[in-house]
A and B are shown apart, each in its own frame.
Chain A
Amino acid sequence: MAYISFLASVLEQSSPIVLAALAAMITLRANILNVAVEGMMLVAAFTAIAVGNASGSAALALLCALVASILMSQLLALMTLRFSADFIVAGLGINLLAAGGSLFALEWFYRSPGGLRPITFPDLWHIPAGALSLVPPLGPALEGQSVIVVLAFLAVPACFVFLYKTPVGSYLRAAGEDEHAARSAGIDVARMKALALAISGLLAGLAGAQISMDKLHFFLPEMTSGRGFIGLAATLFSGGLPWTTAAAAVLFGFFGALGDRLQALAIPSQFVLMLPYLAAILGLTFARWRLHLRNRPARILEPAPASGSSDPQRSNF
């Protein structure tokens, strides 16, 4: 039965990363490198606990978390699309604003800079025990998981359908791939980018709510601890394709869960905590290296490839 609890922990740890990765993926398809996922997650995590604490309603807490995260995404949209700020700099600004704002709120409203730990907190809906015991091997591992874990894994096909099977999804991809062509085809590029950011805010909001609401029921400053960036790495790693992005995110979740297990074996916790980040760097490097090998003949024919800016996703920054 050990594998079931391990699988359960992989699912639990993967779900915020899957959501963060999808959040980064949607914007990447609209040609935005979204470093603000982390900040949106943090805002959602904080809002979830603050509202849950004040209202006693899990549903309201989740809803407000999503709204707060989407509002952050629209602030980013406003600064970048309307006032033409650089996406990366403004994204880092969103992260600082989220970290500073949540800390400020902790100090000002709650007088506790260390964190917000409500004594009682409403539970999210969890899959009841025994409901899926007949569906091996995943069923037992899914029991007891929160509704957000379920939503995270439903979000993968949903994103796929949205991007590839709906007209709006194809406009969004067109806006990301070639702005000028999209514009001359009558697509409102700025609106598509704002939409991508809004969806990204929704997904990041779910991720943040999962982190603070699922098991922990408290908020700590910096509690998202770089998971937004790991999600971003998963997206870049897999070139922005929904299924591979989710697979990469689950792989990082697997490393996280493995890390928790290895902690029992007298390995210093710091090295264990490092695993997903190392995996992200190595994974990205490996993915790029394969691409590099595949493209090599072209590079030999054309002796001066713009390696720094050869990535079409970055050409607009």
Chain B
Amino acid sequence: MRSTVIDLLKAIRAPVAAIALTLAIGFVLVAAITDEPVRAYRDLLLANFDSLGNFALFLNRATPLTLIALGVIFSFRAGVFNVGGEGQLYAGAITATVIGVSLSGLPTVVLFPLVVVGGILAGALLGWIPAVLKVRLAVDEVVTTLMLNIIVLLCTSYLANQIIRDPTSYGAVSALLPQKIWLPAFPGVPGATSGIIVAALLSVVSWVVLFRTEWGAQLRASGTNLRFARTIGVPADRRIVMAMLLAGGFGGLAGTLYVLGIGHRFEQNFSPNYGLVGLTCALLARIHPIGALATALFYAMIINGAAYMQISTDVPRSLVNLLTGLLVLLMTARLNARARG
């Protein structure tokens, strides 16, 4: 029992140190800008819990981050550096919207699964392309996933502006999804999506799959030492492709749950870079599924908190973007080629 506690402390020491150092540097910056640094920092960290409305926005923010982080974890554990979260998220969101809007006449029991499966498959397809290119031809997945992000963003921009645009609304947004397939609210918190429950459950499931099944062990073996994994008879290529399908699927699910639970329609630029922030969460959690839920909640807290901070003091909210970059730099100093093998 005591050794588990020590192990846990050891595991979280580095990320906690990185977070603490980043917050300290941020505090110095804030103190330089505003006369009320304490007020600013209180809002950054705690304003999320001031009202039920703020808490709802906090849960809504954490949902896509958790799901994307889980996807990133599967790809990292298999040794693939999936930077394509943003593209997979958008692919899922747009596909779910197109299916939901165009087939809105179908009964709910048919339409809902169709929308969810469609969104997941669209994300999975985007994970599959770089995976196959990597496994078959050793094309660098970092570059392909980054390029695919931009391509998908442009595709969805075209669809949102020209094809599925709601002409009665301002901006590039689609028509509303039929209300019958909207996700129910989180119990007790009106305005919050229950998608966070799905995300939390999936993080537990992901932990079981990765660490308590043979399949997960094979996947991790392919990621830590490919040659060794092959030597002991693990079908590594298949595990890698499957991990990327899952990673893309998680991104697609994040997009689907976003349009079903939060946006209720597709909006261009709905994501404030959830892809990269989700990746950050996964890294900060040291590619551990349960940890990812915690870091996603932390990130949701400071992203929303930054907005409250900007309202109550004159500290720009983009401070958080700057701190995110800093945090990634600081915490990788300990990550040290762990994920990549």
Binding site for B on A (CB under 8 A): 33, 35, 75, 79, 83-86, 88-90, 92-101, 103-104, 106-108, 113, 225-226, 229, 232-233, 236, 268, 270-271, 273-274, 277-278, 280-281, 284-285, 288-289, 292, 304, 306-311, 314, 316-317
User: Which one of B33, B147, B321, B340 lies within 8 Å of A86 (CB-CB)?
Assistant: B340
A33, A35, A273, A277, most chain B CB atoms within 10 A: A277
- Cα distance A75–B341 when bound, in Å? 24
Complex interface: chain A residues within 8 A of B81 (CB) = 88
- Cα distance A311–B150 when bound, in Å? 25
Q: Are A86 and B336 CB-contacts (below 8 A) given A92-B279, A104-B319, A107-B318? A: yes
- Do the beta carbons of A317 and B337 come within 8 Å of each other? yes
**What are 19 sample pairs from A and B whose C-beta atoms fall under 8 A apart?**
A33-B142, A75-B329, A85-B336, A88-B142, A90-B332, A96-B280, A103-B318, A107-B316, A108-B33, A278-B147, A278-B151, A281-B147, A284-B144, A288-B138, A304-B230, A304-B231, A307-B135, A307-B138, A316-B337
- Nearest first, the 8 closest Cβ-Cβ pairs linking A and B are A97-B325, A100-B321, A93-B328, A107-B316, A96-B325, A100-B322, A83-B333, A85-B332
B185 at the interface (CB under 8 A from A): no
- Cα distance A314–B337 when bound, in Å? 12
Q: Are A100 and B323 CB-contacts (below 8 A) given A85-B335, A281-B147, A308-B134? A: yes
- Do the beta carbons of B325 and A308 come within 8 Å of each other? no
B33, B79, B328, B340, most chain A CB atoms within 10 A: B328
B9 at the interface (CB under 8 A from A): no
User: Which residues, 229 to 253 on B, are CB-close (under 8 Å) to A?
Assistant: 230-231, 236-237, 240
CB proximity of A98 to chain B, nearest CB, Å: 7
B198 at the interface (CB under 8 A from A): no
- Cα distance A98–B319 when bound, in Å? 12
- Do the beta carbons of A274 and B324 come within 8 Å of each other? no
* Closest residue on chain A to residue B236 by CB atoms: A308
- Cα distance A277–B154 when bound, in Å? 11
CB proximity of A104 to chain B, nearest CB, Å: 4
Q: Report B131-172 CB contacts with A as 1/0, cut-off 8 Å.
A: 001111111101110111011001101100110000000000
* Closest residue on chain B to residue A97 by CB atoms: B325
- Do the beta carbons of B140 and A284 come within 8 Å of each other? yes
Complex interface: chain A residues within 8 A of B237 (CB) = 307-308
B226 at the interface (CB under 8 A from A): yes
Q: Are A268 and B332 CB-contacts (below 8 A) given A97-B322, A99-B321? A: no
CB proximity of B33 to chain A, nearest CB, Å: 7
B283 at the interface (CB under 8 A from A): yes
A35, A93, A100, A316, most chain B CB atoms within 10 A: A93
Complex interface: chain A residues within 8 A of B181 (CB) = none
Complex interface: chain B residues within 8 A of A306 (CB) = 226-227, 230
B83 at the interface (CB under 8 A from A): yes
Complex interface: chain B residues within 8 A of A308 (CB) = 79, 134-135, 138, 226, 236-237, 240
B114 at the interface (CB under 8 A from A): no
Q: Are A288 and B137 CB-contacts (below 8 A) given A104-B318, A104-B319, A277-B147? A: yes
- Do the beta carbons of A94 and B142 come within 8 Å of each other? no
- Do the beta carbons of A268 and B162 come within 8 Å of each other? yes
CB proximity of B136 to chain A, nearest CB, Å: 7
* Closest residue on chain A to residue B340 by CB atoms: A317
* Closest residue on chain A to residue B326 by CB atoms: A97
* Closest residue on chain A to residue B225 by CB atoms: A309
- Cα distance A97–B325 when bound, in Å? 4
